[in-house]
Structure 1
Amino acid sequence: MSEKNNIVLIGMPGAGKSTLGIVLAKIVGYDFIDADLVIQNQCDKTLQKLLDACGPEGFIAVENQVLSDLKAERSVIATGGSAVYSDEAMKHLSEIGHVVYLQISYDELKSRLSDLQERGVVLKNGVGMSLHELFDERKPLYEKYAEVTVNVDDLTITAAARKVASALKGLVPEA
């Protein structure tokens, strides 16, 4: 695979990676891959069951392996929010695609996310970790890996997808 012809979405749980990813794929004429679903299919467990079985570190190792082996062409790839914990996976994803950070403010995040426990969210420091601590821990990682950052606060999914498509003009080949 020689060219970076995928779009990789990173960001906090609730930032809209999966939902926006589907709309974005339609706008740019790409396929859509939800990395969380790929992990669930390969492990034959929901993310939450996988987290319960392996713990945060084990889950991150599984996610790293699945993402590092991911092969895609002309696809929008929605990663799990914890993908940025895996340097190897992020290196691979940035080699095969343009990494877009869907940036969301803490207040917006708080209004979108009700229960982290039910979403299969990786809390590295255990279940007692607050949403704010998670936000503060991951934000620098998203910024580190992002090639393009798009703030999606107060935008509808379609408006946010259009904003991402516009930010990528010239970077990804049109369908």
Structure 2
Amino acid sequence: MRNVVLVGMPGAGKSTAGVILAKVLGYQFIDSDLLIQKQEKKLLHQIIATKGLDAFIEIENKVNASIEAEEAIIATGGSVIYGKEAMEHLRAIGTVVYIKLSYDTLCKRLGNIKQRGVVLKEGQDLRGLYDERCPLYEQYCHFAIDAENLDAEGLVEAIRNLLFTNE
């Protein structure tokens, strides 16, 4: 198995499940949001506030398109799907798994979305973001997992089962 790339909305459980999955499989764990923060020496919401949305998406695209790894679980930021180069690269180096959640569940899980560095366009709300991104996650993923009634362990188990029955 090469890499496993987790995509989905903020709050879907990419980082939480990713860390556990990496431990279970003996893989390394890479959080692309942390790579961006390290490169820019700022938190995500600070990058968006100081450089603007378009610049952030460009930075995110470049960082994700340059990830080189073997046997890694890669948790991406929710806006990674706006970067064509990044998504093509991630699909080439790994299996892209979309963690699907309903809009209502995401609303319950997400506190202050601005604090999380969620990429919202001017005048856009969470519903608009959800409706815009979900088709893109579907487009780029190799597999989608309905995580609606799963806790972190359940999600990890579902991903493992999916990956190892589809090898």
TM band (smaller chain): over 0.9
Give the number of equivalent residue pairs.
167
Q: Tell me the distance in 1 between the aligned counterparts of 2:118 and 2:155.
A: 23
TM alignment of 1:1-175, pairs within 5 A: 5-123=2-120, 125-126=121-122, 128-171=123-166
Q: Tell me the distance in 2 between the aligned counterparts of 1:25 and 1:170.
A: 18
Contact kept? 1:6, 1:77, Cα under 8 Å: yes
Q: Name structure 2 gaps, 5 residues minimum.
A: none
Moved over 2 A (4+): none
Structure 1: which amino acid aligns with 2:152? I
* Further displaced range: 162-171 or 97-106: 162-171
Local SS of the residue matching 1:27 = helix
Q: Tell me the distance in 1 between the aligned counterparts of 2:62 and 2:125.
A: 27
Local SS of the residue matching 2:98 = strand
Which string of whole-angstrom CA distances, capped at 9 and with x for unpartnered residues, describes residues 115-154 of structure 1? Answer: 111110111x22x311110000000000000101001112
Local SS of the residue matching 1:119 = coil
Structure 1 position 74, deviation (Å): 0.2
TM norm structure 2? 0.97
Q: Name structure 1 gaps, 5 residues minimum.
A: none
Structure 2: which amino acid aligns with 1:115? N
Which string of whole-angstrom CA distances, capped at 9 and with x for unpartnered residues, describes residues 14-50 of structure 1? Answer: 0010011001111222110000001100111110111
Which string of whole-angstrom CA distances, capped at 9 and with x for unpartnered residues, describes residues 89-122 of structure 1? Answer: 0000000000000000111111101211111011
Using the aligned pairs only, state the percent identity. 46
Contact kept? 1:27, 1:162, Cα under 8 Å: no
Structure 1 position 171, deviation (Å): 4.9
